[in-house]
Amino acid sequence: MERIRKRVDVEDVGIDLSKLDEEFLYRVAEIAEEEIRKALDEVLGPRMIKYILLVDVNVDDKLNVFVDLLVDSRIPPYIRLESVLDRAIKRGLDKAAAYVRAYAREAKAASSEREESRGADSQQR
């Protein structure tokens, strides 16, 4: 049985961490988990006996995404299971990071629109 724990630092995308709610954190975890499961199924498929996948997303001074993956499978010796698991986790974290970046862009655009709206309101007075 192979076990891998990963934590990857994501670049600062300018999100106000205090405004992140549980729904956002859940969605980040869900995206990472779905993508990791897909990647494992594509590569290992029926050779996978069982696996346990935990994705934890929390906020302290930054947004943290932790992945804990335990896999038991029947694979031929020429396939390095650790490499397969690393790629699956990377794929899941990359997809979650893309979601976070898109969220940051949308939040920044909405903030800019509010500021422009306030500026227009104050000029009318």
CATH number reported for the structural domain that contains residue 25 in this entry? 3.30.300.100
pLDDT of residue 7: 64
Rounded to an integer, the average pLDDT of 15-41 is 93
Cβ proximity of 92 and 65 under 8 Å: no
CB burial of residue 94 (10 Å; 0-12, 13-18, 19+): middle
Q: What is the percent of the chain where pLDDT is above 90?
A: 44
For 64-75, how does the pLDDT look when each residue is reduced to its tens digit (9 = 90+)? 899 999 999 988
pTM equals 0.81
- 14 sits in the region (left: phi over 0; alpha: psi -120 to 50; else beta) called left
Range of the domain at 105: 2-124
pLDDT value for 96: 93
Q: How many domains does the chain have?
A: 1
- Mean pLDDT over all residues of the chain? 85
Q: What angle do CA 44, 45, 50 make, to 5 degrees?
A: 80
